[in-house]
Chains A and B, each alone.
Chain A
Amino acid sequence: MSILQELSKEASRCVKCGTCLASCPIYAETLSEVTTARGKLSLIESLSTGEIQFTSKLKDLLSSCLICNACGEGCPNNVRVEEILLEARKELVVHRGLPFAKKFLFLLLRSSPRVLPSYLKAGSLLQGLLLEKVPQESGLHLRFSLPYLDKRRLIPPLAKRFFLHSHPSLVKSPQEKRCVGYFVGCVTNYLFPHLGETTVRILNRQGTSLVIPHEQTCCGLIAFGSGDWQSTQKLALSNINAFEQFNPDTIITTCASCAATLKAFYPRLFKNADPETQKKVERFSNKIMDLSQFLIQEMNFLPSALQKSSSPKDPLPTITYHDPCHLNRTLGITREPREILKSLSHLTYVEMKEAARCCGMGGLFNLTHYGLSLEILNHKLDMLKEMGVEMVATSCSGCMLHFMDGIHQRGMNIKVLHLLEVLEAKQGR
């Protein structure tokens, strides 16, 4: 059976009942079947019968999906929509190739680990030419629109020193009880190195040393989501090899998207590889843990013990949590981040309505469908406004960037934080 036939067979398990219409954040905006899961699944069926070909129209339709998997989660027949769609995108690349911009970007990503950082280093020095500083914000605006980059967009500046350049590959805790690996991820490395520094401090304080292999690179999610499995496989092997020499029993991530890629998507990428490679990939994937999960499950972390309690007269600032799709639906982690937030004595935790609704980032979807991406985010921002919270925490760098952009554009006074920043807020400020 060809790959297409296999996909079509799984797609045909969809009975077109329409339940996916209720959960799709894109359908909520477009109100058109061409963006629904059952629509896309029917296209994959038609593709395998030869009724349609790998046209550019088909590419457009299959690309208008956030891969948030809300449809798959709610599907009464448990059709694996996300898996089918990602594989269909791979087939599209096999038949049509990649658009030039993506081809160039992924080529850069998978080149030797020195190349991308050196480009970005130059970027960090030159960013002032293209971008102007946004008053009162730690962000930048483009001085003029570029392809894929809207002028409205808030762009976080590249860090002056990248995280991996400023840390040794082994950071020992003075009270070492165990040692774990740390997968840094691009956003932390290039944009928000303070997140990495905080991770190191928190874990060190818990008696955990970290190995941070310098050869680690991008997790590859943007290439995977675009159907470029070849580039993703290359990145995956670089990462797996980078950690293999240190052989930590656990590898921590602080970004939901990286976590999902390393843990859930890598094994899928190599499902047809030789058994030895498969085993190697599986060994790596099994070690991946989100920081919140590691702290709660392995460290019996009790943050309240660390916090000074404020006087009961002061109303505590309120904080809510946004579930990243990759943490919630891909990896099933929802409890740990909330446990951490609820245990903080200097903040009041408020649960967000529809906390698991996708923010609309969707990786490169945010670049290719910027307007739609912002419209989807507006639902979340309206919710934050209605709740009147002061802070929103999440654990995905993609969601963070998107929330920051949207909140800035709407001029809202809400702070976007990574969960681990909240843990340090008291000490840090």
Chain B
Amino acid sequence: MVKKALGEIATIVGKDHLLTAREELLCYSFDATNQKFLPEAVAFPHNPQQIAEIMVLANRYRFPVIPRGAGSGFVGGSLPVEGGLVLALTKMNRIITIEPENLIAIVEPGVVTGTFQEKVEALGLFYPPDPASLKFSTMGGNVAVCAGGPRCLKYGVTKNYVLGLEVVLPTGEIINTGVHTLKGVAGYDLTSLIVGSEGTLGIITKIIVKLIPLPEARNTMLAIFPKIDDAAHTVSSIIHERIIPSTLEFIDQAAIRCVEDYLPMGLPTHAEALLLIEVDGEITTVTRHCEHIKTICVKNAASEVSIAQDQEEEERLWKARRSISPALLKLNPHKINEDINVPINRIPEIIRRINEIAQRYQLINVNFGHAGDGNIHTNLMINKENPDEEKRAALAVKEIFQATLELGGTISGEHGIGITKAPYLEMEIGKKNLALMKQIKNLFDPNLILNPGKLSLQS
């Protein structure tokens, strides 16, 4: 299908910005789900006009178009499941403007989030969303899935910072949504509709984001809990005391043991849970909050609480958290990572239920994540060479999702739905919502050519 249009696409983006060799296409056949779907071509557009022209062709020849940032998503959102043309937006990577006086910035979708953060922080400003992939994932990709991260406990997720967008619609029109101001209520909030739509409603070509002042100071502390319930209760207590740490990370015993085995740093392997807490703000507030949180931890039977005395120690504490992912693969070669989210006070219960489910299906599981906002990353460690184990894992995942929903949670806090969670979407949102989503999709994309096969949108 794309084949017929290749000549025209080459004219639009330039021959050097179009890949068609099988070897090159293979390099665009995967994302962080490690699943494989071969595209028919890959184009690197440089401006919205080129994308608009490509969309006109796509409608004429009816080929799928799949927008892609860094390909670091965990749900397959950028995989060309039905073949077609991958639009790699990495070369649209200009930071168009940073306006400290208006507290906004405008960026192209290919800008790497971490690079953008460094630039604004040099000006004393702050763009908080911090997905673990921030050193390589793109602003466009982050907006498309409404990426979160540890800091969203205090600062909110990507959607809380997007003020407006420039979007190429699947039909080839270029629209601008939202505002350049910190407020704006003119008409339906199309910006919010497109943020998190996973590239199914349009191709984001410009992003207007809100910036806030960079906090003056921050500090990190580590609390050790012999009993997991005490750790969970501490999380609730801290929030209840109306302190909002910038991050509040939870690590369970299986993860502690893994990390300690991988990179011995003196973590107590007998402890059932660790909390890694970061506070930020004015220096005096940071000191006061650290002390207050320490008291709360001790009151909740923490066996040890250490506050980082300098940057080096802070770095050491964070190292434990960052080592989890690589360390886990020592348990088994493959991990199924689900990012369920429950109300903060249901954390102890969901962890109990997850562990029970994993045990029943004889699976190794490890839980860690952003406990402060109830976003738990539950990891089933399996070996895919064992098909039976893979089957058991699939059943366990479904039960974990059911338990999450029963506790008033959601099946995805920050990764999105893509293809891997598509079968479970209806479980959470119901038939009516899904039908409405399909109608919206049809309105935007009558020929269903933009990122097909995602979000359960196909009838």
Contacts and interface: CB of A to CB of B under 8 A. Distances in A.
B410 interface: no
B23 A76 contact: no
B26 A21 contact: no
Contact of B110 (A15, A18, A31, A58): A31
B326 A18 contact: no
Interface stretch (B29-37, B310-318, B371-379): B29-37
B24 interface: yes
Contacts of A39: 26-27
Nearest to B21: A57
A17 B32 contact: yes
B231 to A, nearest CB: 25
B27 A31 contact: no
A296 to B, nearest CB: 23
Given A31-B91, A32-B90, A33-B88, A19 B136 contact: yes
Given A16-B34, A18-B71, A42-B27, A32 B333 contact: no
B136 A22 contact: yes
Interface in A47-95: 51-52, 55, 57-58, 61, 76-78
A76 B326 contact: yes
Contacts of A18: 31-32, 70-72, 133, 136-137
B329 interface: yes
A76 B325 contact: yes
Given A18-B70, A21-B136, A38 B30 contact: yes
Nearest to A19: B136
B88 A32 contact: yes
A77 B332 CA distance: 12
A318 B26 CA distance: 48
Contacts of B135: 19, 22
A13 interface: yes
A13 B34 contact: no
B44 interface: yes
A52 B26 contact: yes
Contacts, number: 83
A58 B32 contact: no
A255 interface: no
Contact of B93 (A17, A31, A34, A76): A31
Nearest to B329: A77
B19 interface: yes
A17 B23 contact: no
Contacts of A36: 27
Nearest to A58: B23
B22 interface: yes
Nearest to B93: A31
B136 A34 contact: no
Interface string B426-452: 000000000000000000000000000
B116 interface: no
Nearest to B30: A16
A52 B27 CA distance: 12
A211 interface: no
Nearest to B23: A57
A43 B22 CA distance: 10
B90 to A, nearest CB: 4
Given A18-B71, A31-B91, A32-B90, A52 B22 contact: yes
A22 B32 CA distance: 14
Contact of B44 (A32, A42, A46, A77): A32
A372 to B, nearest CB: 14
A31 B90 contact: yes
Nearest to A33: B27
A29 to B, nearest CB: 11
B19 A34 contact: yes
A375 to B, nearest CB: 14
Contacts of B33: 16
Contact of B26 (A32, A42, A76): A42
B26 A51 contact: yes
Contacts of B93: 31
B127 interface: no
Contacts of A55: 23
A36 to B, nearest CB: 7
Interface in B1-58: 19, 21-24, 26-34, 36, 44
Given A18-B71, A57-B22, A76-B325, 13 more contacts: A15-B32, A17-B133, A21-B72, A22-B112, A22-B114, A31-B90, A31-B110, A32-B19, A33-B71, A42-B36, A57-B23, A57-B24, A61-B23
Interface of B: 19, 21-24, 26-34, 36, 44, 70-72, 88, 90-91, 93, 110, 112, 114, 133, 135-137, 325-326, 329, 333-334
18 contacts: A13-B333, A16-B33, A18-B31, A19-B133, A19-B136, A22-B114, A31-B90, A31-B93, A33-B71, A34-B23, A36-B27, A39-B27, A40-B27, A52-B26, A57-B22, A57-B24, A61-B23, A61-B24
The 5 closest A-B pairs by CB, nearest first: A39-B27, A18-B72, A22-B135, A21-B136, A76-B326
